[in-house]
Structure formats: C-alpha cells, structure tokens
Structure 1
Amino acid sequence: MLFFLVLLRPAALWASTAAAPQGAVQILGTAVAHLEPEGADAWSGTVMLPHRWDKAFPGRAGRARYVLEIPPVPEGSPLSGVYFPRVGNQVEVFVGGELLLYRGALGDARTDAAKGPLWMSVPHRFLSPIRPTVLEVRATVQPGRWGGLATPQFGPEELLWPEYGARRAWRQWGAVGVVFSLALTGVVAAGLWRVNREPVYGYFALCAPFGMLRYADRLWDSPPIGWPWWGALLACALALHVLLLARFALALMGQDGPRVRQGFWYLIALELVLAWCAFTLQRPVLWTLGLALLLLPGVFAYVAAARRAWLTRQPEAIALCVACFIPLGAGLRDFIAVRLSTEGMVRTTYLPLATMLFVLLMGWLILDRYARQARAYQGLSNSLDEKVRQREQELQVSYALLQQEHAQHAALLERQRIMRDIHDGVGSQLVGLLSLIGKGRTNQAQLREHANAALDELRMAVDSMQTVDGDLATVLATLRYRLQPRLAATGIEVDWQVDELPTIERLTPHMILQIQRILLEAFTNILRHAHATRVRVSAHHHEPVAGGVRLVLEIADNGRGMDPLAGHAGGQGMANMQARAQAIGAWLDITAAPGRGTCVRMELAVEPAPAMPATPAPAPAAPAAPSM
C-alpha cells in the first residue's frame, strides 16, 4: 500500500523538493493521502496541505495516512527537524519507516495532539543525501476536534525551532495568562459582590470560571472525560462565558433591563442546545451556527458602549467602548479566518489574547467603579454623620424631657397603685372592723383578728414596694418573718423548703402583692379551720416537656382537710385566690380530703411566659369558711 501511495505523488512534488536550496526551510505543501472515514468509502489521492478532516468529512470519525517527502539532506548539514503547526488527533510519525514521534495511542480519544504544535528532531541517519526520504503521518480523528494535517515544515533546527517555540509559547502561555487574569479579576469581583451584592460584580464573578475552563483546555493533552462529552462541555463553557461577559458589560452601562434579561436566558438555552447537539450528534455545523450567534450579544454590547461613549464622552465610557471592541473584533476575525477557512489549521487565534486584554480592562473598570462608589459613600457618610450629630443633640433634649415626663407618670401610677392596694386591702379590713364595733356585739378576739388582718394588709403593701430585683425567695423570706410568730403562737410547726430560685424579670410590686395575698389567705385558712400541727412550705422550679421554666409554690398541712363540695359552698376565699392567680398569669390548684389535710399549689411561668387559659383549672377544694 505504501508503494502504491508513493506512485500517486504528483510531479510538482518531485520538482519542488528537487529545486529546494540546501539549508533552507522546506514547506511540505502536498501529500499523498489515504483516508478512511467511518460509514463512508475510503479515498486515496493527492491533497494540498493543510488538510482539514472536518471540512472533508463533517461529522465523521476515521483514520488518515499522509505520505510526504523530505528532500535530500547533504552530509554535514546541521541537525534537522520537522515542525507541525497542527496535526491530530492521535498521531504517529514515521521517517524512513522508523517511528520517531507519537502522541497518544491511535484511536484512543483521551489524547488530543491538535491542541498545540509538535516538534520532531530528525537524526541524519534517517535522511538520505541523494534521494527524498518518506515522511509518513498516521492519525486517528474524532469529528469536531480539528483533526487532519497542517502544512509541515522541514529544515535546520536552528531556523525552525524558534518558530515552533513562539507558536507553542503563544498557545500555552497565552492560555496561562488568560486563566490567571480571569482567576484574579473573578476573585476580586466575587469579593466586591459579597460586600454590596451588586449584580454587575456577580456577572463577572460567574463568567470567570467558565472562561478558565475553556482556555485551560490548552494546557493538557488528556481531558478528564472522554470525547465528545468534553467537547460539548467546553462549548457550553465558552457560550456561558461570552454571554455573561456581554451581560456584565451591559450591566456596567446600566442597560440590564427586562428585555436584556429575557434575551439573555433565551440565548443561553439556545446556545446550550446547539453546543450539546453539535458534539453529541456529531454535527459541527450546529456549533458553527452557535459561534455565529455568540457574535450578536457582542455586537449589541459594543453598539451600546459606543453610543454611551459618544453621548457622555466620559473616560469610563470610552474605555468600555474600546474594551468591547477588542474581543468582538478578535472573535469575528477568528470565526472567519480560523473557523470557516481551510487555512484555519495553521492560523493563530487572537481571541485568547483579546479576552485577556478585555478582562484586564474590565478589572480596572471594576476597581475604578468601586473606588468611585466608596468615595461617594464616604461623602454620604460624612454628611449623614453631621446630620446625625445634629439630631443627637435634639434627641438629647427631647429625651431629657421624656425622662422627666416618664418619671412623673411612673410616680403617678405608683401612687395610684398604692392607693388602690390600701383601699382594697387595709381599707376593706378597717371598714369591716368599724362595722363590728358599730354593732357592739363583737368580743375582743374578733376585733383583734380584724385589726391583725388590717395590719397584715398594710405590711404586705409596704413589703411589695421593697426592691427585690426579681428574687422571689426574698419575698417568701419576708412573709415568713411576718407570719412565723403567729404560727408559733398556735403551736404549728413550719417546715420551710425553699430552693435557689431563678430570677423573675417581670416580678412587679403588683405581682408580689398578689402572691403574698394568696399565701396569706392559705395561712389564714390553716390558722382558722385546719387544726393542723405541721405545715410544709416549698418553693422550687422545673422545666416541663412543653418548654420554658415554671416556679412551683406549695403550702400543705396535716389538718383535718375538708369536703370539696362543702368548700365551694362555704365562702369566697378560694374564688378570691383563683382570681388573684389569674391576675398574675399563674395556675392555682387546691386539693383537700377529709382527714388528709389541704395542699395549695401555685405554678408561675418564669420564661418564656405562655398565654394562660381563659378559665383556670378547676380547684376541687377550698377552706370551709370565709376568711376575710
């Protein structure tokens, strides 16, 4: 087969190689090719280089063999080499039947040699000084991957190596520069977006990772996933990168309106569908259409930037206009000269460099915009500080007046409360005492009892006004001090079991007075009716399953107890205790049984204070006779 291919060489190839001067760079512009596309007939013949597989067999994978001739090299010539501007996708290169260069394994789509130029040194022992040497390039090609063979060049290494090095540096270091600039400005934009949540910074921060993914593809020969999925992913990344850059430029100009947002989402959906279908269905023309559509938002952004620059003549607007023109012009040039042209295999794309310049200019505009905003905010802050100082002075005067009025109002309310407590408590007891005296039929014991009750009410009113700072234990200790002599005088032993109680922030004088009256009512009933010898007073707190902290007060005696039904009919003592408990948001329960004593249990919410039910829990027992 190789002999047959050599017989197909055109006469022009013999003439061009024979006439080439010694020591000069030779352009190997023709080759005898044997092409085997999948799903189509094989083809053999002479092709002019560069030969682009996707142009000859769009949407088809296959194998290709290119046979070229290296002109005779005189003995003593400097070391020679072959420079391949582009060849792929997986490649083996033979010189005189010897394998000198390969990239990947033929048919293994994980490697793509077409991402950069290739260099192959050719030792003198493989070259003939009197006749041409056969150069054979074998390649396997995947559709849409720029497979085929660009025009190789053969000549002295000292002449060709600089050209190869420059092209490789352009592709590799250009990609590094774009990735680095995108990463740097993307991080800055993300930081600024995190500070003030302005969409213009968010668009740039989002576009940076997609651009980094697209241009970083040049930096490795073996992508992380297989073809064509990797190609579809890179196409989607490029589409999102370009659209987000256009959206960023429009937002920077304040033209990110509803129509722009709607068109943006439509274009994203269309571009993603075209990119995915072009590679997965092996239809490169769909991605060519997608690239053409990507020029539209660029043209729109440039026209908007140019119009704004013409109207405002501001440096920022002019810089934005220039920045938008750079990637638009480079993208249009690459689309025509590289994507559509057969010569595109040997041409360098300008879009990466244009993207890097655009990104750097956008980074400068972002920082300048942020600096101007910071200066404006600083001026606004200074103005606000001055106004705040003026308002503070006015508020200080108003606050002093309000404090004075509040103190006067609080004093008035406190006087009213004290008057009400004395009227309801001490006053009612004194009225009852006067009524008994007026009848003239009471003995001294009854008068003493009513006088003591009036005195207890007065003492409780005074005690409730003492500062306790939310400490209920202090209130209980004061009550114990008041009642201990009376209980001891009747021979009743008191067992006080008061734990360390939590602070009750809402413990007001009114609440203290109501608690004292409930406890006093309980003790009064014990003294009058219980015939008890021992009373246990306990106070503790617990946390029920429903949450919160509740304070529990219990007074239990070992007296004769009572019948619950009789307690309801005997007087208003129990009803008064229930009413007082409801007034402070507490729950009261009185349990009693004949011969088993009586227990008064009160629960008070400490924190949080739950809403009390409209009707308290029923109390089955009450003192046998009214107390006050």
Structure 2
Amino acid sequence: MPPHDRARHFTQAELLSVPGIGYALPAQRIEDAALPSEGWKKVDLPYTAGRELVPSAAGGERTVTDWYRIDLAGLPPSTQPRLLYLPRWKTLGHIAVYGDGVLLYQSHGSPIHNGYNHPLLLPLNATANAQPPSSVLIGVNRLRSSGSGFSTVWVGDEDALSWRYQVRQLLQVQLPFMGSAAFLAVGLFAFAVWLGKRRESLYLLFFAISALAFLRMLHYYVGGSYIPLSDDWFEWMTVSSLLWLIVVIHLFLQRLHQQPSRWLTRLALALTLACNVATLPHLSASIVSLYLFTPLLNLMVLPVAVLIFAVNLRKALRAQLPEGRLVAGWTVFAVVFTSYDGLLQNNLVSPEAVYTSPYAIIGLFFVFSYIMFQRYTDAFAEVARLNTGLARRLQEREAELDQSYQRLRVIENQNMLSAERRRLMQDMHDGLGSTLISAIRSVERGAMSDAEISVVLKGCMEDLKLVIDSMESVDADLLLLLATLRFRLAPRIESAGVTLRWEVQPVPALSWLDPNSALHILRIMQECVANVLRHTQATTIGVSTATVDGGVCVRIEDNGAGFSVDEALRRGGRGLHNQHRRALAIGGTVSWESGSAGTRFTLWLPIHRELDADKIVRRFGS
C-alpha cells in the first residue's frame, strides 16, 4: 500500500470546553474525567482558542480544558502499529492523549515550558496485532486569558508518518538548536580573539550577540523538566535577552560604520533597563502575568527595533560600507519573520505554522559571521600589505646601505692608501731621505771617498728594501718578519766579518701586527744591528726569541766592547731614543744590558695590545 494510503489526515474534530480552577494531573482513564455527553461541537483543524480577558478568581487561576475527539472507526485495517502524529500544539498548560479512554501520553514539565514547540508522535497500539483504539481523545488545558492552538492530526503507519515527524522536528527544533550552537561556537572564537586584541571591540560585541541569541532561542527547543531555572526567571531571561540583543546589534553596527548616535544609544539603553526592571520577577508576582505580557512586549519592541536598524543602516549606506546592504537585506527579513511570529504567538495565524524568528537569528549568524570573516581577512590582507611594504622599504634601505658601504669602502681604501703613502713618505723622508741629503752634501764638499759613498748608498738601499718588506702581509707572524730581516741584513753582517747565530724559537702570533707595526720592528732591529757593526767590534751576533710575561721577547746579543747605557741615553743618543720611541708606538719596550763581555738588547712585544699605536703616540709623543 502506498504511504499516502496508510496515513489519514484529520482536519475536523469534535470539541468540548470544560471550565475549571487551576491545573490538575490528567486522569488515568477518561471515565474518571466525568465528561458530559452534551455540548460537543464540530470544529475545523487547525483550531485556535482566543484570549479571554477575565479576572482571576480568589481560589486560583481560571482554566479551561479543551477536549478534542477524533473517531478512528473508519480507518482501514493495518498489519503495522498505528501512530498518532500531532505537528504542533500551543497552550499555557498541559496536553493528554487518550485511546478508547486509556491515557496514552501526557506532557511533562511546567505548564509554561511544556515542550509546546516539539511535534508529537506516539503509538496508539503497542504491537501490530493489538487492536487500535476506535477513538482518540486529546485534552488541552489552558488559561482563559492565554488562549491555545491545536493543529491537524495524522493517524497511520510508522513509514507514512515518521518522515513527516522528522521534517517537522528538524524545522521546529533541530535547526534552531544547531544554528544557535554554531553561532555561540563562532562567538566563543571571536571572544578568544578579543582576549588577544583588546582594542578590537567588534569581536567582543560579536560574542555578546551570539550569547544573547543563544539565550533568546532556548525556549524554542528546551522544554519539559530539563530547565535548571524556575519558570519566572527563565521567561524573564528570554525577554531580557531579546531586548539586549537589539541593543548590542545597535552597538555593533555603530562600531562598524563609525558614526555614533548618542541619543539613540541612550534611548535603547533606557528602554531596555526599564523593561528589565518592570518585568523582573518578584516574590509576590506570578509568572503568568509576565508570560501573558510577553507577546505584547514583543510587538511593542518591534517598532523600536525597526527605528534602531533604520538609523544604523542609513548611516552604513551613507558611509558606503558593503556590509550595510547585507545587514539591510537581513533587517527586512528579520522584521517580516518577527512580525509573523508575533501573529503566531497571539493566535492570529494557523497554530500549525512554524516559528520563523529562529531562522532570522540563523540569518543573523551568517551575516555577522561574514562581516567578521571579512574583517578578519581584511586584517590579514592589511598585514600582508604592510609586510610587502616593509619588505620593499627594507630592500630599498639595503640597497642604500650597500651603496653607502661601497662608497665607504672606496673612501676607506683611499684613506688607507693615503695614510700608507704618508707613512712611507714620512719614513723615507726621516730615514732614506735624510741619509741621501747628508751624503749629497758630503760629496759636494768632497768630504767622502768613493768607498764611504758606496757604504751610504748600500745603507739607503737596505732602508728602501725594509720599507718595501714592511708592506708585505706577514699574517701576525713575527718569525716570518724576522726571517725577512735576516734575508736583508745577513749579507751585510757577513761582509763585515761577523758571524750570525740564529736561535729563533716559535712564539705566539701577534694579532695587531700590521705593516706600520712591522716597519717599526724592522727599524728597531736594523738600528740595533747597525750599532753593533759600527761601534762594538763584535765578531758574533746572536738573534733569539722567547715568550716572557705575557709577551714576546726578541733579543740581539754581541760579544763586542760594551758601553754605558745610562751615559749614552743621557748624552741623547739618537739611535737609542729612536728605538725607544718606535717600541712605545707599538706598545712594546726596549732595554739594554752591556758589559765587557758584550751587549744584550731586548725588545718586548705584547701578544694582545689594548691600545692602538695612534693612542700610544698621542700619549707619549712622537
């Protein structure tokens, strides 16, 4: 049998309204209810009972129980269990379903939060072989001042009704719950972002919107006895969350378009606080009054919300924000959906309809999530743009620095060449030049023989070679420098009939040894050897090295006639003073030990020099 043949849709029922006082538990059997046999009337389903503005009796709230009787005797036989499907019912009370006078189902929880937005699907007979009831009686109790709503009824097999129930459950309960949960999850992420960037208030406002929207939508899918709050506080929370949701959305839009409306903000805050205080649950007040006032309050809030959204959207569009058009589109749908729900809540449209406000909240979730996503991606794009600009400027600065470095290198090389040229010219002027000028004057006066002229010229050649040798790189190796000196002076020593004893030992490298310092050392050693050859009549000259007192010692010893060191220094001997001056210039010291057995000259050089030569020259004078 096709599914549509296994389900029957009832659009009519018999109705009997029985007045009463307060709420009572449903009877286990319908006979206990003592229903009258007269007074039943046929009504079309869905059916709505309007509000009756009557005062409350002293003995309690005046209630009415509406009994809907549906005859099932005409249903075709079925081998499957029969189910009853009720798409929706709405009342400030409870509902009970009887089959042939036996209680089959009763709603749970308080009379207010009784799961009214959940569709109802229940079996009429426990097994397929059991006889289904011939009639169904559904009792809906309500307050006279609240009204009620009752949808059409379906009776049939599970295959024919389960998909209808699932679709209705999805539309009325599951989608609102999933939408609000997803909204809150994204809001928590925005809150975490705000904790890291306190200046970005949009993230905090987005979180507040998601939390308030979640609280506002709770009453659509939470019901029964699962609410940890009392009815009065839960109802007050849902009303307050709606009011604050409008205020926070106003603050969000105001922060978005950067055009504050102080008068509108003060008005919204004042109305919200006033409504919160006016509807605050009191010990002497009943939740019924707040619940009855809630539909009217929602209708009164609607024009205020429209005013707030209109002002903000006008400013957003004037600021040419792309998000303004998106929010404008959502506002149109939100106003339509909210107005429709106001009519539904006040029983002015079919009670079988679905609340559309949750879908406006879901639309709000997508709209504001899109706005935050755009802001988030724009922030990343701005960071990328800034990084690109910084990288470009860094490249420009690197290019400028490279050019400056190249210019500095050229200037440094020029300065170094100029300094080296000045050093060589000064040295040649003081040494080689002075010697040549003296020789020229002696030749002009005829005071020198050819042999003496030859000696002078050889000395000048040696000076020139030492200057050239000082320009060679010795890589801080003192022994290499001494070997160069030996190569230059050995022929002169041997031609004088003097034996050279070379006892040089390995010594640490001198990191400060540069061409200028090398020339000072060569000059000192040359002056010492020249003094030995000219004045001591020595037959042996010894050169040795050692490491002493954190420095390197170079010693030159001879076996010639000694001299008085103090007297020579006091007379102002030029050669000794030159040696002393040059040693100081490179941070070293010189000393002489002379006697009848010969003279020992010692040049001490530091391994690590703290002061450079220029500072030493400025300290001791040149």
Is 2:318 aligned against 1:307?
Answer: no
The alignment status of 1:270 with 2:274, answered yes or no, reads: yes
Aligned AA (2:295): T
- 2-structure distance, mates of 1:226, 1:147: 22
Aligned counterparts, 1:229-248, within 5 A: 229-248=233-252
1:291 is matched with which residue: 293, 298, 313? Answer: 298
CA distance in 2, matches of 1:149, 1:161: 20
Q: How many Å separate the matches in 1 of 2:258 and 2:143?
A: 44
Residue from 200, 213, 216 that aligns with 2:215 = 213
Q: Deviations over 1:279-300 (max 9, x none)?
A: 6361555323321233235323
- Checking the alignment, whether the CA contact within 8 Å between 1:228 and 1:280 is kept in structure 2 is yes
Q: Is 2:39 the partner of 1:32?
A: no
Alpha-carbon separation, structure 2, partners of 1:232 and 1:29: 36
- Is 1:318 the counterpart of 2:319? The answer is no
Query: Unmatched 5+ residue regions in structure 2?
Result: 24-34, 402-622
Gap change, CA 1:389 and 1:146, over 3 Å in 2: farther
8 Å CA contact 1:84–1:151 kept in 2: the answer is yes
Q: Rate the CA distance shift 1:180–1:231 in 2: closer, same or farther, 3 A.
A: same
Q: Show the counterpart of 2:367.
A: 361
**Mapped partners of 1:143, 1:175: distance in 2:** 30
Q: Which residue of 2 aligns with 1:426?
A: none
**Matching residue within 42, 52, 55 for 2:51:** 55
Deviation track 1:167-198 (CA, whole Å, cap 9, x = no partner) reads: 11212211222222221221132133321433
The separation in 2 between residues aligned to 1:386 and 1:143, in whole angstroms, is 77
Are the aligned partners of 2:191 and 2:207 in contact in 1 as well (CA < 8 Å)?
Answer: yes
Partner of residue 335, structure 1: 342
Q: CA distance change for structure 1 residues 196 and 226 in 2, over 3 Å: closer, same or farther?
A: closer
Contact 2:82–2:155 (CA under 8 A) maintained in structure 1: yes
Which amino acid letter does the alignment assign opposite residue 95 of structure 2?
A: V
For residues 514-559 of structure 1, give each alpha carbon's deviation from its aligned partner in whole angstroms, at most 9, with x where no partner exists: xxxxxxxxxxxxxxxxxxxxxxxxxxxxxxxxxxxxxxxxxxxxxx
SS of residue paired to 1:32: strand
Displacement of 1:348:
0.3
Alignment partner, residue 448 of structure 1: none
Counterpart of 1:355, as a letter, is: I
Q: After superposition, give the CA deviation of every residue in 1:358-385 in whole Å (9 maximum; x if it has no partner).
A: 2122111112123324433554577689
Larger relative contact order (CA 8 Å, sep ≥ 6): 2
Secondary structure class of the residue paired with 1:319: helix
Q: Which moved more, 1:242-251 or 1:44-53?
A: 44-53
* Offset, 1:321: 2.1
Percent of pairs identical after alignment?
15
Kindly report which structure 2 residues correspond to 1:409-558, keeping only aligned pairs within 5 A, or say none. none
Q: Deviations over 1:254-288 (max 9, x none)?
A: 23332232122112113324544796361555323
Mapped to 1, the partners of 2:116 and 2:362 lie a distance apart of: 23
Query: Alpha-carbon deviation of 1:301?
Result: 4.6
Q: Give the letter aligned to residue 254 of structure 1.
A: Q
String of CA shifts for 1:393-445, please: whole Å, max 9, x gaps. Answer: 99xxxxxxxxxxxxxxxxxxxxxxxxxxxxxxxxxxxxxxxxxxxxxxxxxxx
Cα distance in 2 between the residues matched to 1:171 and 1:265: 32
Q: Distance in 2 between matches of 1:52 and 1:283?
A: 21
1:275, 1:359 → 2: CA distance? 28
In the other structure, the counterpart of 1:202 is 204
Residues 309 and 321 of structure 1 are in contact (CA less than 8 Å); yes or no, is this contact kept in structure 2? no
Residues 237 and 314 from structure 1, CA distance in 2 versus in 1: closer, same or farther, beyond 3 angstroms? closer
Aligned to 1:164: 165
Aligned-partner residue type, residue 93 of structure 1: V
Provide closer, same or farther for how the CA distance between residues 226 and 382 of structure 1 changes in structure 2, counting only shifts above 3 A. Answer: same
CA contact (8 A) 2:71 2:135 kept: yes
CA deviation after TM superposition for structure 1 residue 322, in Å: 2.1
TM-score of the two chains, using structure 2 as the length reference: 0.51
- 3-state SS of the aligned residue for 1:228? helix
Matches within 5 A, 1:134-173: 134-141=135-142, 149-173=150-174
Structure of higher CA gyration radius: 2
Q: Deviations over 1:556-609 (max 9, x none)?
A: xxxxxxxxxxxxxxxxxxxxxxxxxxxxxxxxxxxxxxxxxxxxxxxxxxxxxx
> 1:157 Cα shift?
4.2
> Please, which of 260, 264, 271 is the counterpart of residue 256 of structure 1?
260
Aligned to 1:375: 381
SS in 1 for 2:248: helix
Question: Scaled by the length of structure 1, what TM-score is found?
Answer: 0.50
Query: Match of 2:205, SS?
Result: helix
Matched, 1:104 2:113: no
- Per the alignment, residue 397 of structure 1 pairs with none
Measure, in 2, the Cα distance between the counterparts of 1:316 and 1:212.
23
Aligned letter for 2:122? M
Distance of 1:177 and 1:296 partners within structure 2:
29
Q: Cα–Cα, structure 1 residues 306 and 229, in superposed 2: closer, same or farther, change >3 Å? A: closer
Q: Residue 349 of structure 1: CA displacement?
A: 0.9
Q: How does 1:40-51 map to 2 (within 5 A)?
A: 46=41, 48=43, 49-50=45-46
**1:224 aligned partner:** 228
CA root-mean-square deviation: 4.0
Once structures 1 and 2 are overlaid, which stretch shifts more, 45-54 or 108-117? Answer: 45-54
CA offset digits 1:82-137 (Å, max 9, x no partner): 222234543321110112222227xx548613131111222375546xxxx33222
- Counterpart secondary structure, 1:100: strand
CA distance in 2, matches of 1:110, 1:297: 27
**Per the alignment, do residues 364 and 109 of structure 1 end up closer, same or farther by CA in structure 2, a change over 3 Å counting?**
same
Distance 1:85 1:212 in 2: 24
Report if the CA contact (8 A) 1:275-1:290 is conserved. Answer: no
Query: Post-superposition shift, 1:310?
Result: 5.2
**Offset of residue 319 of structure 1:** 2.1
Deviates more, 1:169-178 or 1:53-62: 53-62
Could you tell me how far apart the structure 2 residues matched to 1:291 and 1:305 are?
A: 21
What CA distance in whole angstroms lies between the structure 1 residues aligned with 2:279 and 2:177? 25
Distance change in 2, residues 1:23/1:207 (3 Å): closer
Task: Name the CA distance, whole Å, in 2 between partners of 1:380 and 1:225.
Answer: 51
Q: Which amino acid aligns with 2:228?
A: P
Per the alignment, residue 122 of structure 1 pairs with 124
Take 1:147 and 1:67, find their aligned partners in 2: how far apart are those partners? Answer: 13
Q: Residue 191 of structure 1: SS of its match in structure 2?
A: helix
Q: 3-state SS of the aligned residue for 1:114?
A: coil
Residues 308-317 or 113-122, more deviating: 308-317
Structure 1 residues 253 and 61 mapped into 2: Cα distance closer, same or farther (>3 Å)?
A: farther
What is the alpha-carbon distance in structure 2 between the residues aligned to residue 257 and residue 375 of structure 1?
A: 30
Q: Which amino acid aligns with 1:348?
A: V
Instruction: Select 2:356's aligned residue among 336, 350, 354.
Output: 350
CA distance in 2, matches of 1:171, 1:281: 24
**Greater mean deviation of Cα atoms: 292-301 or 221-230:** 292-301
Partner of 1:191: 192
For 1:51 and 1:356, the matched residues in 2 are separated by: 30
Structure 1 range deviating more: 267-276 or 382-391: 382-391
Amino acid corresponding to residue 100 of structure 1 in structure 2: L
**Secondary structure at the residue paired with 2:301?**
helix
